[in-house]
Structure 1
Amino acid sequence: MKKKILVLGGAHIDRRGRICGETAPGASNPGTWFEEPGGGGFNAARNLARLGFQVTMISPRGGDPMGETVGEAADFAGIDDRPFVFLDRKTPSYTAIIEKDGNLVIALADMDLYRFFVPRRLSIRWVREAFAAHDFVLFDANLPEETIAAIVAKARSLAKPVAAIAISPAKVVRLRPCIGGIDYLFLNEAEAAALTGERPEEAAGWPPLLNEIGIRNAVVTRGRRELVALCEGRAVTLQPPIADTVADVTGAGDSLAAGTLAALISGLPLEEAVRHGTAAATLTVQSQHAVNENLTPDLLNEALALVPKVRILH
């Protein structure tokens, strides 16, 4: 029987402009424009569905054509889509400018609608039933701080494992009040620095800082440098393989979270599961989409062969 994963968080429109030549700040740059459904939670949900899990997505959405586009993408991915629709408001959006090498220049997040996902919505009968019926809960930090705390509390009360995607340095701080209740946290270096107030140069500097604030299991990505994974007092690093081509880095962290969680739910330890997540992220950056449209368990296993073993820190 398929494992069931409940995802709460961002499901919106991603707009990405890609600069064709060398980036010229403060000037007009030739480029191309691309638009698709996205959002941290939604990207992870689609990856998990492609990897064979039964996924339900709960997210606020506007009553506009963009909201319909997101809904169609959820249906296409095989997700059980359960939005809170606000007919008089617009669906959130994320607009990014990408350099020709795939790296982010700057982004603008128009996410005001997410503040209407208040804690009392978790008491709605069908939401309570969704929590009870699923094996695992995943959320992202697009949601309000008090709603995040309520999600963690509800998951803990039902003995459901819960994971979080940090989203950004500005939003990850919303996790602070309930950080000890999160079983798995996925974040990058900038987001980890926003939580801890420090940014060590070496990978080995992260485990004690994260443990000090109550984080038990986490994966900290560091761009092309070694990522760090914490697992109940142990710490490992892993050097991500360098992709032959980088089409777009959007969604890489979300796919890493999804690939890692898929392996964890299947019974693998974190230090092995993070290899699966790294393989998923590698496949994502080779695609122009935030979710690799060709992702399957078989393709992930092929990519896994290129991911090195972890190195034990302690």
Structure 2
Amino acid sequence: MPDIATITINPAVDIFFNVDRVEPTRKLRCSAPKRDPGGGGINVARAAHRLGGSVVAIYPIGGVIGKLLQRLVEREGIDSIVTPSHVETRENFTAYEESTGDQYRFVLPGSTLHRAEWEACLDKLVTLPEKPKFVVASGSVPPGVQDDFFGQVARAAERLGAKTVVDTSGPALGEALKEGICLVKPNQNELSEFVGAPLSTDSERISACRKLIDDKRTEMVALTLGEDGSLLVTKDGAWRAEAMKIDVVSAVGAGDSFLGGLVAGLAKSLPLDQAFRLAVAAGTAAVMSPGTELCREQDVKRLLTDVKITAIATAAA
């Protein structure tokens, strides 16, 4: 029985390659491309599966690229529940410039989905033969899909008796939070935009997270802060993780790996601070891997003991 079901309404095949230098006009000779399955929920599923989570991934596919996406997901040992789309599944491109060490990320928009196509994903969720503990809705919303799609996912998860986890931004985030979910994972910019404040200190960040909790929009907030680390905030406590000192190879998928580690830990009923520790190790491991590989289990295990978690609040402010 899967403990975690992820839903990705805007999936992609991620293509990664090296190039000596990115320049206009001239032909750029690139390395052989590496292709990985992508999209927020699929990446969360990949990370959680690598860390021992039992996962099923729900997503639409279309055309030749869609069939490739399904093969790539299932090659990683993740069960897929796919629905047909009339449009070709999108691709994203990441170029690593060898001369500078810079990354260039080209993220293509998803094509417009018909209502029946995105509703089919919801139908697959509510008719799962085995009920998961957690439903993770993550990633962007393509054209044609209502802003409240993740809110509808939350309502479907509630009917299943599952807890909802959301990682998105903009109007889709606001609509999801109206439903009162279990966990939301914004980054600094997403939370600042949502609350309309810069949130430059931990005190301000925790207050903003607690406001969401007190308003019954979510039970927990996992706030990723890039080079400044991360926070996990509940009604009665907050934990701080400093960023680990490692050599950054690729920033792609760090947030998805973080969330995959956190949900995998929660699904195993780990204490909150230990699930948070696993999340930090997974997010850190992702930036050590090239391209779109995400976290690797051996790196996560090696980093776990070096993760420093500090309890910085024990009562609601």
Give the TM-score normalised by the residue count of structure 1: 0.83
2:149 to 144, 147, 150: 147
Correspondences of 1:170-209 after superposition (within 5 Å): 171-180=169-178, 181-209=180-208
How many Å separate the matches in 2 of 1:188 and 1:28? Answer: 37
Partner of 1:84: 83
- The answer for the alignment partner of 1:249 in structure 2 is 251
1:31, CA displacement in angstroms? 7.8
**Aligned partners of 1:91 and 1:113 also within 8 Å:** no
Q: SS of the residue aligned with 2:297?
A: coil
Residues 246-303 of structure 1: per-residue CA shift (max 9 Å, x gap): 221101110000111111111123333111111111211111143347425xx53322
Distance 1:280 1:189, change over 3 A: same
Aligned mates of 1:184, 1:53 — CA distance in 2: 17
Q: Hey, what does 1:220 align to over in structure 2?
A: 223
Identify the residue that residue 137 of structure 1 maps to in structure 2: 135
Answer with 154-163 or 108-117: which moved more: 108-117
CA contact (8 A) 2:93 2:107 kept: yes
- Post-superposition offset of 1:116: 5.0
| Cα separation, 1, equivalents of 2:203 and 2:25 | 40
**CA shift in 2, pair 1:113/1:54, >3 Å:** farther
Change in Cα spacing, 1:29 to 1:281, as seen in structure 2 (3 Å) is farther
Q: What TM-score, normalized to structure 2? A: 0.82
Match of 1:11 in 2: 11
Equivalent residue for 1:93, pick from 78, 91, 94: 91
Supply the distance in 2 between the matched residues of 1:309 and 1:283 (Cα, whole angstroms): 16
**1:30: how far off?**
6.7
1:102–1:246 Cα contact (<8 Å) kept: no
After TM superposition, give the deviation of residue 210 of structure 1 in Å: 2.7
CA distance in 2, matches of 1:230, 1:48: 21
Q: Distance in 2 between matches of 1:44 and 1:215?
A: 19
Q: Which amino acid aligns with 1:165?
A: D
Q: Secondary structure at the match of 2:240?
A: strand
User: Percentage identity across aligned positions?
Assistant: 20
Q: Residues of 2 paired with 1:312 and 1:31: CA distance?
A: 50
- Aligned partner of 1:177: which letter? E
1:41-190 matches, within 5 Å, as 41-64=41-64, 66-86=65-85, 88-96=86-94, 107-113=106-112, 116=115, 120-121=119-120, 124=123, 126-130=124-128, 133-143=131-141, 144=145, 145-166=147-168, 171-180=169-178, 181-190=180-189
Unaligned 5+ segments in structure 2 are none
The more displaced of 105-114 and 182-191 is 105-114
1:98 positional shift? 5.4
Q: Is the 8 A contact 1:13 1:35 kept in 2?
A: no
Distance across 2 between alignment mates of 1:226 and 1:44: 19
Compared with structure 1, are the counterparts of its residues 233 and 19 closer, same or farther at alpha carbon in structure 2 (3 Å cutoff)? Answer: farther
The answer (yes or no) to whether the contact 2:39–2:139 under 8 Å persists in 1 is no
User: Residue deviations 1:224-266, cap 9 Å, x none?
Assistant: 11312112342221102121x2221101110000111111111
Q: Distance in 1 between matches of 2:94 and 2:300?
A: 27
Farther-moved stretch of structure 1 (208-217 vs 100-109): 100-109
Could you tell me which runs of 5 or more consecutive residues in structure 1 were left unpaired when the two chains were aligned.
Answer: none
Give the aligned residue type for 2:227. Answer: R
Aligned partners of 1:116, 1:84: CA distance in 2, in Å? 13
Secondary structure, aligned partner of 1:220: strand
Partners of 1:18 and 1:194 in 2: CA distance: 34
SS at match of 1:164: strand
CA separation of 1:12/1:114 partners in 2, compared to 1, >3 Å: closer, same or farther?
farther
Contact kept, 8 Å, 2:133 with 2:161, in 1: the verdict is: no
Matched, 1:232 2:235: yes
Deviation at 1:32, TM superposition (A): 4.5
- Secondary structure at 2:309's aligned position in 1? coil
Partner Cα distance (1:31, 1:272) in 2:
45
Select between 38-47 and 91-100 the one with higher mean Cα deviation.
91-100
Aligned to 1:312, what secondary structure does the other structure show?
A: strand
CA distance in 2, matches of 1:303, 1:8: 29
The separation in 2 between residues aligned to 1:98 and 1:198, in whole angstroms, is 34
CA RMSD after TM alignment = 2.9
8 Å Cα contact 1:234/1:313 also seen in 2: yes
The one-letter code matched in structure 1 to 2:174 is R
User: Take 1:190 and 1:159, find their aligned partners in 2: how far apart are those partners?
Assistant: 31
With over 3 angstroms needed to count, the CA separation of the structure-2 counterparts of 1:236 and 1:54, relative to structure 1, is closer
